[in-house]
Chain A
């Protein structure tokens, strides 16, 4: 399988090396997004993610296909978590594997940037006394 696209409850960051390893690859690049404790000096208790799953998986597959074509990748992983995630927990992991490192570095940036722009996943920041849907308002 060249592409792994998943929405899961818990992300196992250790698994990704095996998923991206490939005999024709000389480089693997991985990005992990995690829950940061402070947003604008305000303490975050947790992030809560929800998704429109069918559409999200379709959009994630499109991103993987585009990246494979553009950078001639051997393997691609896009995996996002849903549900409530505490500080320092992983919420998203994307990675690419290619013959040389330039391709996988560039592809990895494209994977996470495009995921954040197009994939229907929503994040709510939970603070002590309120919760806010991220980026909903200008």
Chain B
């Protein structure tokens, strides 16, 4: 499982990518992933919003995650 970080999320975790090996315990859903992130990096709680994309589509909290998904942490967007 591969998790990408952008914008301020990248600054918070100090990396643009975290790779979970096959042996590691992985979050099963988007909600679980967010919970893990907040536990490990409480700074995420201070953001205005925290969205997750699975395979480059916005994903609700109940979406399940699988090993070969490309997951991205989407902090508040600010294009334009």
Count A/B pairs, Cβ under 8 Å.
Answer: 79
Residues of A within 8 A of B7 (CB): 50, 122, 124, 133, 136
Q: Which residue of A lies closest to B58 (CB)?
A: A118
Residues of A within 8 A of B75 (CB): 122, 133, 136
What CA separation (Å) do A51 and B6 show in the bound complex? Answer: 7
Give how many A residues have a beta carbon under 8 Å from the other chain's beta carbons: 29
How many interface residues does chain B have, given as a range? Answer: 20 to 34
B23 to chain A, nearest CB (A): 28
Decide: A52 and B56 in contact? CB cutoff 8 A. yes
Residues of A within 8 A of B11 (CB): 133
Chain B residues near A (Cβ < 8 Å)? 4, 6-8, 11, 46-48, 53, 56-58, 72, 74-80
